[in-house]
């Protein structure tokens, strides 16, 4: 894996870039002027960041593993210390598959019914490998979602959820906040 240099990252035209940012040279970026990157961010190989008018905001200390897609018209916000495992897809826009409309970006909007709503992964939230997150979802602070889950509705804080659709299975411990305080003393 090779990462872009700081100059190469700046050349892409991001809205803002923090310190210590690593972006793979195999990452595809669309509408970079609507994407903000915090500090201590790492984006791995074969990710797709496709920002719509709402933009994409990535906070501090965020890791986005390989093959992740962040796509949609509305804002996608990944807050501090959030993590997204390999092959996850986050959509802030989705076509209506009911059969009452046409689908796909090659069809004029008047024939489509697109659901476009903000998606937020709050601080310390995690997505396990191959999760799908749909428009309008807010994943609560400190919540972890198990691998292969479909998140089609918001999840509460400090929970562990999994399944299709994702459901809360238990409460998540909160020692991570003490560790965050310790960590911040070292930087």
122-176 tens-digit pLDDT: 999 999 999 999 999 999 999 999 999 999 999 999 999 999 999 999 999 999 9
Contact by Cβ (8 Å): 42, 65:
no
What mean pLDDT comes out for the span 58-79?
98
Instruction: Specify the DSSP class assigned to residue 124.
Output: T
Contact by Cβ (8 Å): 116, 91:
no
The answer, yes or no, to whether residue 55 has pLDDT greater than 90, is: yes
Q: How far apart are CA 80 and CA 130, in angstroms?
A: 21
3-state SS class at 110: helix
User: Average per-residue pLDDT in the chain?
Assistant: 97
What mean pLDDT comes out for the span 66-91?
98
- The predicted pLDDT at position 94 comes to 97
Q: Where are the alpha helices (DSSP H) in 22-149?
A: none
Over residues 35-45, the pLDDT tens digits come to: 999 999 999 99
- The predicted pLDDT at position 79 comes to 98
- The predicted pLDDT at position 165 comes to 98
The answer, yes or no, to whether residue 1 has pLDDT greater than 90, is: no
Confidence of residue 53 (pLDDT cuts 50, 70, 90): very high
- The predicted pLDDT at position 76 comes to 99
Residue that is written with structure tokens 């305080």 in the block: 181
Contact by Cβ (8 Å): 139, 154:
yes
CATH of region 6-95+112-186: 2.160.10.10
Percent residues over pLDDT 70 in the chain: 99
Structure token digits, residue 108: 């004029």
37, 51, 71, 139 from 28: Cα distances, Å: 15, 11, 11, 25
Contact by Cβ (8 Å): 103, 121:
no
């Amino acid at each position: 894996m090779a990462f872009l240099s700081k100059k190469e990252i700046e050349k892409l035209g991001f809205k803002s870039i923090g310190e210590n940012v690593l972006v793979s040279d195999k990452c595809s970026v669309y509408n970079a002027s609507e994407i903000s990157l915090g500090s201590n961010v790492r984006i791995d190989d074969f990710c797709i960041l496709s920002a719509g008018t709402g933009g994409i905001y990535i906070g501090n200390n965020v890791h986005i593993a390989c093959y992740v897609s962040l796509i949609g018209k509305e804002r996608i916000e990944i807050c501090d210390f959030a993590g997204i495992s390999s092959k996850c897809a986050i959509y802030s826009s989705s076509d209506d598959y009911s059969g009452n409309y046409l689908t796909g970006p090659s069809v004029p909007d008047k024939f489509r019914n697109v659901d476009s709503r903000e998606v937020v992964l709050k601080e310390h939230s995690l997505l396990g490998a191959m999760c799908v997150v749909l428009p309008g979802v807010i994943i609560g602070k400190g919540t972890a979602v198990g691998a292969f889950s479909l998140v089609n509705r918001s999840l509460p804080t400090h929970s562990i959820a999994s399944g299709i659709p994702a459901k809360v299975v238990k409460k998540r411990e909160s020692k991570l906040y003490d560790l965050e305080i310790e960590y911040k003393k070292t930087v």
